[in-house]
A and B are shown apart, each in its own frame.
Chain A
Amino acid sequence: MNSNDILNDIDKKILLGRQLGVFNNPLGQKLLQLYGHGILDPWAIGQINKRVDKQLRKEAFSNLPFKQPQLNTGELILGTDENSHRPVKAFIQYLNAGSLLVANTGSGKTTLVSFYAIQIANHVKGMWLVDLRKKESRLLMPGFAQRGIDLTVVRSRKFKINPLQVPFKVDPYEYASTIADVLVKVLNLPPRASVLLSSTIIKLYKKFNVLNGSPKYPTLFHLFETVRISKTANSQARQAILDNLEAILLAFGTEMLGCYRGWPVHELAKRHMAFELAGQPEAGKDLVLNYLVVAELISRVSRGISNRGMDLWMSIDEGQRLFSQRRESTGYGGNSITDLAGLVRGTGTGLFISVLTPDDLSNKIPAITSTKIMGRCGSISEYQAAGQFMGLNKEQVFWCAHHMVPGMFVGQVGDGPWRYPFLFRVPKMKQLKIVTDYQADESLKSLDGLDVDPVEFSNWSAVECITVKGEAIDDKQDTVQLTNSEFRLLKAIVDKPMLPSSDYVKLARISPNTLTRLRPILIAKGFIREHIMDSGNRGRSKRVWEPLEAAKQAIAGSDNNGGT
């Protein structure tokens, strides 16, 4: 017996009406209440029939095989409904569980991402817009500025990172094995190399006193040199590491990777950043992106962040090669992001991946992304594959193949009570103002305050003659180099910052001549920054002294050691 046999006509109309969303307004809710209480007079039945029939007729004439979206609330406008031209809305937190966008070139992928990024910007602490092939995210800079947000554009050769830098609140032992796995995947190394890398990194951490909390981390250059002199290590693993790592080190040089401390990733996660990776070698792109994402995710996990709202939105544009199934299954490659991407929702990170085609897309990606969007694709098989991710039926897939145009998308939100696929359009972006490389580099000044410690060597070469100076410098050395008067002056500045320079004569108990002599020394050593404040009179301007991080560390180190 069919279950529908026990239902009468009005029951079936109610069920159909619920699916169509015709009872969502106050009168509709009252009709459902009447139905629930069995109060079915001719007026109520007439109203129910009228509503359901009207909607059925409307959908039949709309000639679209998609339901009208019942998404009317939320901060994020996904686009306009193709049928009613009303905005389709969703809550920004729906994107917390990951999103996948499949659309071929020229179908409006970047426009869609830009449209969403502008809307999301004010609702999250941090946003990472990753351009793997193009340089389009930087065009959002003026739009962000209008909303009071600084978008920092990092061009491909302007990164200052150290993949061996232990992320915030992460145990160095745990991180050593994680970063070793990342390097194995990124550099396409044999599995044996993972063990060698992991043990070498831990040895380096011991040498640099990282395990006891030293903030000076070894770099990939130190790793390369240590592997090179490990003649007793497994020769295949050793040679594979040297060959592959050397290519990266030569391509990036010390300008990018030569930092004992690079930009702290947890600080970048609090900012709106556009990372431009176009122009870097593919392995280099993988290394930078894997490091940034993995470091932030592992740091969040270590901090015990669990099941919280999205405060970092990452959009990875043109991620075709990064999330390639072929790379994952053949050789040793792949990437660590797919391994950790399952954690993103729990750690408050929304990952938005856009790809050209579902062909060769890692099969983990559709599984870990809840919100799916499909734009115009190139072939029927691509529509079928992408349609399968969001449960499109055959009729819908064929409709898409014949009707999709640039700017039109089929979406399925990953959360909320209504999860059917729906059709929508994204508005065309107005012509965006060009952002020059100079302007992009100017935006990087916002990262000047971050604590970066460059290596002392600048002429690294892959040949055997490398000399790495200043390895494993003890924390004490910074403070020992200060003279008594330097220390007194620096301590006074750290204790009472931002005072006019002349005030420190009394505070540090030094003579004005000594103060004049020490001023350029402290500035040159990077301990203080001087600001000029003009007075209203004709006299000399006030010089206000700001202690920098190095000064605070030097004083803190000295205090811990009982003085200079």
Chain B
Amino acid sequence: MRGGAFHNKIVEEARTIFSNNGWQIYTEHRYRCNGTTTYLDLLAVKGDKRICCEIETTVRHVIDNTVKAQSAGLDLWIIVPSRTLSRQIEHKLISSGLNTKHKNVRVLLFCQLEAELNSFQENNF
């Protein structure tokens, strides 16, 4: 795993949540689409549904990751540890013209992941 210890801890815990719900998980997944190569922290696959997750512990890479995911046409869940960071990331995305409300990007607190996943499964399966 390429991140720091904290990042990797969240990746591992997120992986467990997805696995417990019957999702196939790929970490550090290399994804190529539309001429863009992107490395995803987590790619969860179940049936014909796929969820791509980026774990962000700072705001540094969020724009790059979002732009890459959007250009590759992926639905992206950005998982963050704290509300402060969540607000910072939403603000940064909006100020960069990447409105999370209308596009396929969601910013989630890590503690909301399980609930969000259950809701996604109820709506899609």
A546 with B6, Cβ < 8 A, contacts A531-B81, A532-B81, A541-B82 known: yes
Residue interface bits B1-13, CB-to-A below 8 A is 1, else 0: 0001110010000
In the complex, A147 Cα to B32 Cα: how many Å? Answer: 10
A442: chain B residues at CB < 8 Å are 60
Can you name 9 extra interface pairs (CB under 8 A) apart from A529-B6, A534-B83? A148-B39, A445-B58, A449-B4, A532-B81, A532-B84, A533-B111, A534-B82, A536-B115, A544-B9
Residue B112 CB within 8 A of the other chain: yes
Q: Which 6 A-B pairs have the closest CB atoms?
A: A536-B111, A533-B81, A531-B6, A498-B9, A145-B64, A534-B82
Q: Is A122 within 8 A of B37, CB to CB?
A: yes
B82 near A532 with CB under 8 A, answer: yes
Q: Are B81 and A534 in contact (CB under 8 A)?
A: yes
B36 interface residue per 8 A CB criterion:
yes
- State the CA gap A442–B36 with chains docked (Å): 24
B59: min CB distance to chain A, Å: 10
Q: Which residues in A have their C-beta under 8 angstroms from that of B38?
A: 148
B57 on interface, CB distance cutoff 8 Å: yes
Cβ A536 vs Cβ B109 within 8 A:
yes
Residues of A within 8 A of B84 (CB): 532
A544 to B82, CA, bound (A): 12
Which chain B residues border A146 with CB–CB below 8 Å? 36, 64, 68
**B39 partner residues in chain A, CB cutoff 8 A:** 148
Complex Cα gap A234–B40 (Å)? 61
- Is B23 located at the chain interface by the 8 A CB criterion? no
CB of A21 within 8 A of chain B? no
In the bound complex, how far is the Cα of B57 from the Cα of A529, in angstroms? Answer: 13
Query: Which residues of chain A from 494 to 550 have any CB-CB distance to chain B below 8 Å in the complex?
Result: 497-498, 529, 531-536, 541, 544, 546
A146 and B37 alpha carbons, distance in the complex (Å): 8
Nearest chain A CB to B57's CB is how many angstroms away? 7
**Contact between B60 and A445, CB atoms less than 8 A apart:** yes
Closest Cβ of chain B to A543, distance in Å, is: 11
- In B26-49, the 8 Å CB interface with A consists of 36-39
CB neighbours (8 Å) of B64 from chain A are 145-146
Query: How near does chain B come to A412, taking the closest CB pair, in angstroms?
Result: 31
Name the distance in Å between B73's Cβ and chain A's nearest Cβ.
Answer: 15
Interface string of B94-118 (1 = CB under 8 A from A): 0000000000000001111001000
Q: Which chain B residue has the least Cβ–Cβ distance from A548?
A: B5
- B interface residues, tally (CB under 8 Å): 23
- Once bound together, how far apart are the Cα atoms of A497 and B5, in whole Å? 9
Instruction: Considering the complex, give the chain A residue whose CB is closest to the CB of B84.
Output: A532
Give the nearest-CB partner of B35 in chain A. A146
Closest to B115 in A: A536
CB-CB under 8 A from A532, the residues of chain B are: 81-82, 84
Closest to B112 in A: A536
Contact code string B53-79 (vs A, CB < 8 Å = 1, else 0): 000011011001000100000000000
Give B31's nearest chain A residue, CB to CB: A148
> Pick the contact of B111 from A122, A497, A535, A546 — CB < 8 Å?
A535
B5 and A533: CB pair below 8 A? Answer: no
* Complexed CA–CA distance, A498 and B82 (Å): 16
Give min CB distance, B17 to chain A, whole Å: 13
Q: A531-B57, A546-B6 are in contact. Are A148 and B68 (CB under 8 A)?
A: yes
- Tell me whether A534 and B60 are in contact (CB under 8 A): no
Q: Looking across the interface, which residue of chain A has its beta carbon closest to that of B109?
A: A534
Q: How far is the CB of A11 from chain B (nearest CB, A)?
A: 48
A534 touches B57 (CB 8 A): no
Q: Which residue of chain B has the shortest Cβ distance to A529 in the bound complex?
A: B6
Cα–Cα, bound, A546→B6 (Å) = 7
Q: Are B36 and A533 in contact (CB under 8 A)?
A: no
A442–B59 alpha-carbon span in the complex (Å): 11
Rounded to whole Å, the gap between the CB of B31 and the closest CB of chain A is 10
**What are 30 A-B residue pairs whose CB atoms fall within 8 Å in the complex?**
A122-B37, A145-B64, A146-B36, A146-B64, A146-B68, A147-B37, A148-B39, A148-B68, A150-B61, A445-B58, A449-B4, A498-B5, A498-B6, A498-B9, A529-B6, A531-B6, A531-B57, A531-B81, A532-B81, A532-B82, A532-B84, A533-B81, A533-B110, A533-B111, A534-B83, A534-B111, A535-B111, A536-B112, A536-B115, A541-B82
Given contacts A498-B9, A532-B82, A544-B9, contact A148 B111 (CB under 8 A): no
A544 partner residues in chain B, CB cutoff 8 A: 6, 9
Q: Which residues of A contact B36 (CB under 8 A)?
A: 146
In this complex, the member of A497, A534, A535 whose beta carbon has the largest number of chain B beta carbons within 10 angstroms is: A534
In the complex, chain A residues whose CB is within 8 Å of the CB of B9: 498, 544
- Give the docked Cα–Cα distance between A459 and B57 (Å): 36
How far is the CB of B84 from the nearest CB of chain A, in Å? 8
Nearest CB of A to B112, in Å? 6
CA of A531 to CA of B115, assembled, Å: 23
Kindly list chain A residues whose C-beta atoms are within 8 Å of the C-beta of B112: 536
- Return the chain B residue nearest A541 by Cβ: B82
Which chain B residues border A534 with CB–CB below 8 Å? Answer: 81-83, 109, 111
Enumerate chain B residues within 8 angstroms of A150, measured Cβ to Cβ: 61
**B36 to chain A: closest residue by CB:** A146
